[in-house]
Amino acid sequence: MPKGEPFELECPCCGATLKINAALKSVISYKEKPKPKAIEDLQEGLSLIREAEKRREEAFRKSFEQMKTSKDVLSAKFDELLKKAKEEDPTKPPPKPVGLE
């Protein structure tokens, strides 16, 4: 970079973009970080909060239903594996690792 040519830098504190000229040792220009859109209407803000509450409630309900059935699912898996273990011959040696046959 040639001496005296301005460069841009982001402020670590506020996030603004600063254009600095090193030869002059000064800030030439700056551009503020865009601020998030404010909610203009109070009713709109309340509706957003209510929608978020409904989404959280629905996620909780699904999680609760899944936890209620998880005991049955685990029990069914255990029964299936137990049945499979009883069908196998216990005197049969385990399979040999590849390459040791």
- Could you tell me the pTM of the whole model? 0.39
* Alpha-carbon span 39 to 45, nearest angstrom: 6
Structure confidence by residue, pLDDT tens digits, 47-75: 989 999 999 999 999 999 988 888 888 89
The residue range of the domain holding 15 is: 1-33
Q: How many CA atoms lie within 13 A of 14 on its CB side?
A: 9
pLDDT for the residue numbered 86: 86
Q: Quick check: is 28 in a domain?
A: yes
Regions of the chain with pLDDT less than 50: none
Q: Does some domain include residue 101?
A: no
d(CA 92, CA 86): 13
Q: What is the pLDDT of residue 1?
A: 57
Determine, yes or no, domain membership for 99. Answer: no
d(CA 84, CA 78): 10
Q: Looking at the 3D structure of the chain, how many domains does it have?
A: 2
Same domain, 53 and 76: yes
Instruction: Give a yes or no: residue 92 inside a domain.
Output: no
In a domain, residue 77? The reply is yes
pLDDT of residue 2: 62
Considering the domain boundaries, does residue 94 fall inside one? Answer: no
pLDDT of residue 101: 56
CA atoms within 13 A on the CB side of 75: 5
